[in-house]
């Protein structure tokens, strides 16, 4: 391996668990310092405390902080960073941010701006994939008016999807099952896409019923080498938001894996892709697959791939940015099974409404085969400004059965108090016989996972009251201990005020 670009300090243009994840990778690589950024709402977050340096970048609203390119570049210059890792979300797939970093002489740890633009525009990506021989879902071409889309809908066939060209994560997306619904769905999708992405362009795709959402992780170096690291099954979703992932997929066979893996490599090569990326597909019951989109960044669910391949995805991102030349295409094998639950601050018994507040108790699951990627702790304040994901519980086993049994144990151990979480949803999911048999698709949650609060018995109510009283008592005791603590801190914990670089 030859690494030609020297990276000594990385600014992490993100927050929460992914920022913590990047910091840990840098420490394990050795010799790479880390710079955290934070909004006013995140001053006491773990990523701020774990980094070598931390800088304030603005008020809580993302547009004034984590989406403020000028402020991020100013901090990079002030801190002496020579590279930027964007994480996922926020600016991670914004070609303008990657270009701005390069213009300032910073290494952007991700794909080129050109590749991001080509794959970020869903309509352009469809055309590129068709040219590369990658199957795409039947749909419309770019540049059509609403009247043209209405006429094209009959040729595509119902049911169909209205989708945002610049979108992702379910934004600007509508399901239409009847022609009478189409005009209103087009108008709503235009509005939502414009608000979310600043681009109201939309298109139509045939809706594949009872399909599975399966994606392939790829890595590509700047020397023309591209490999895939197997698949991830992401069909457990709610409103197009993933909740649970596993690798490998219980639906996959060797032939389908070979065909989809090669298609993912072809998709990456079609845009001269560099660094980590994911090619997402929909797969029908008869094992036909269709390109859905390409995520030009590290993904939330990357840990399951790490556990079954032994490849540290974040380290590889940094090594590729340094100039690493990867090995042969067939060098990665899958070992065992890994599953991941996204733990969100949401009330599953109240239509998954977001929950905010202070985490009063946080007892993390441990033990054989369990990994927790988290940015929270007891005393951490969950605010309404950002995504509701708190942590990811990942379990590995020699078989799918062992991985799921370990996950069941981990979920029973995990205790988060002070707000509502979707832990009960995941516990119900793991107990579903249909899910355990691997018989699920993207509609599984809507069809089989209705969450009903059965009510509380008198004994449960009394126990909850006693526990709430105990928690309040412990909080008061902790407050007294903190107020009487001597000024000298002998622990190895870095308190923010002692070392942060406040940039106003």
Give the Cα separation of 147 and 153 in Å (integer): 10
The count of C-alpha atoms lying within 13 angstroms of the C-alpha of 415, restricted to the half-sphere facing its C-beta, is 6
Residue-wise pLDDT for 276-313, tens only, equals 999 999 999 999 999 999 999 999 999 999 999 999 99
Residue-wise pLDDT for 8-34, tens only, equals 999 999 999 999 999 999 999 998 999
Give the Cα separation of 10 and 13 in Å (integer): 9
The whole-chain average pLDDT of the chain stands at 90
> Alpha-carbon Rg of the chain, whole angstroms?
23
- φ and ψ of 438, to 5 deg: 80, 15
pLDDT bracket for residue 73 (50, 70, 90)? very high
Q: What is the pLDDT of residue 279?
A: 97
Nearest to 273 by CA among 301, 291, 302, 297: 297
Query: Which residue among the candidates 56, 297, 324, 400 is catalytic per the annotation?
Result: 297
Q: Which residue has the tokens 């996922």?
A: 88
Give the Cα separation of 74 and 70 in Å (integer): 6
Nearest to 274 by CA among 231, 312, 324, 327: 324
Is residue 297 part of the annotated active site? The answer reads yes
| Token pair recorded at residue 6 | 């020297």
Alpha helices in 349-454 (DSSP H): 400-413, 423-430, 433-436, 444-448
Give the Cα separation of 278 and 2 in Å (integer): 25
Residue-wise pLDDT for 454-502, tens only, equals 554 555 545 555 655 565 566 556 544 444 444 444 434 444 443 445 4
Give the Cα separation of 409 and 393 in Å (integer): 11
CB-CB contact of 51 with 7 (8 Å): no
DSSP 231: E
Residue-wise pLDDT for 177-233, tens only, equals 999 999 999 999 999 988 888 888 999 999 998 899 999 999 999 999 999 999 999
pTM, 2 dp:
0.85
Please state, for a pLDDT cut of 90, what percent of the chain lies above it: 78
Give the Cα separation of 356 and 442 in Å (integer): 28
Residue-wise pLDDT for 346-355, tens only, equals 999 999 999 9
Nearest to 89 by CA among 159, 17, 182: 17
């Amino acid at each position: 391996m030859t690494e030609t670009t020297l990276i000594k300090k990385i600014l992490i243009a993100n927050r929460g668990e992914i920022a913590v994840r990047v910091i840990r990778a840098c420490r394990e690589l050795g010799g790479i310092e880390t710079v955290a950024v934070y909004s006013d709402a995140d001053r006491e977050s773990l990523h701020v405390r774990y980094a070598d340096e931390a800088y304030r970048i603005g008020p809580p609203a993302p547009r004034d902080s984590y989406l403020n390119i000028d402020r991020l570049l100013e901090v990079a210059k002030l801190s002496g960073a020579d590279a930027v890792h964007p994480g996922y979300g926020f600016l991670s797939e914004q070609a303008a941010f990657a270009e701005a970093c390069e213009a300032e002489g910073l290494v952007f740890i991700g794909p080129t701006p050109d590749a991001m633009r080509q794959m970020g525009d869903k309509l352009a990506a469809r055309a590129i994939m068709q040219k590369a021989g990658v199957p795409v879902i039947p749909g419309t071409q770019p540049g059509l008016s609403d009247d043209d889309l209405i006429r094209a809908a009959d040729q595509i066939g119902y049911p169909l999807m209205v989708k945002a060209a610049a979108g992702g994560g379910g934004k600007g997306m509508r399901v239409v099952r009847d022609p009478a619904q189409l005009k209103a769905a087009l108008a709503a999708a235009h509005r939502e896409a414009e608000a979310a992405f600043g681009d109201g362009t939309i298109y139509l795709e045939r809706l594949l019923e009872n399909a599975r959402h399966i994606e392939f992780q790829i890595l590509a170096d700047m020397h023309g080498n591209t490999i895939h690291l197997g698949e991830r099954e992401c069909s457990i979703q709610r409103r197009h938001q993933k909740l649970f992932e596993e690798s490998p997929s219980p639906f996959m066979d060797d032939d389908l894996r070979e065909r989809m893996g090669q298609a993912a490599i072809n998709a990456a090569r079609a845009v001269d892709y560099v660094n980590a990326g994911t090619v997402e597909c929909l797969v029908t019951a008869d094992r036909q697959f269709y390109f859905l989109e390409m995520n030009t960044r590290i993904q939330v669910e990357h840990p399951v791939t790490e556990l079954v391949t032994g490849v540290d995805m974040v380290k590889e991102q940094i090594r590729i940015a340094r100039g690493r030349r990867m090995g042969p295409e067939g060098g990665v094998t899958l070992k065992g099974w890994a599953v991941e639950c996204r733990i969100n601050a949401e009330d599953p018994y109240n239509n998954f409404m977001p929950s905010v507040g202070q985490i009063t108790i946080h007892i993390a699951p441990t033990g054989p085969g369990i990994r927790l990627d988290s940015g929270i702790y007891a005393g951490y304040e969950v605010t309404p400004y950002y995504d509701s994901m708190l942590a990811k519980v990942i379990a590995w086993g020699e078989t799918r059965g062992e991985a799921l049994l370990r996950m069941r144990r981990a979920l029973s151990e995990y205790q988060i108090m002070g707000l509502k979480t979707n832990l009960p949803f995941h516990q119900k999911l793991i107990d579903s016989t249909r899910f355990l048999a691997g018989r699920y698709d993207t509609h599984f949650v809507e069809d089989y996972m209705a969450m009903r609060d059965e009510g509380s018995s008198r004994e449960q109510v009394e126990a909850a009251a006693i526990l709430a009283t105990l928690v309040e008592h412990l909080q008061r005791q902790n407050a007294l201990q903190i107020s009487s603590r001597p000024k000298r801190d002998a622990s190895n914990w870095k308190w923010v005020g002692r070392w942060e670089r406040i940039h106003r």
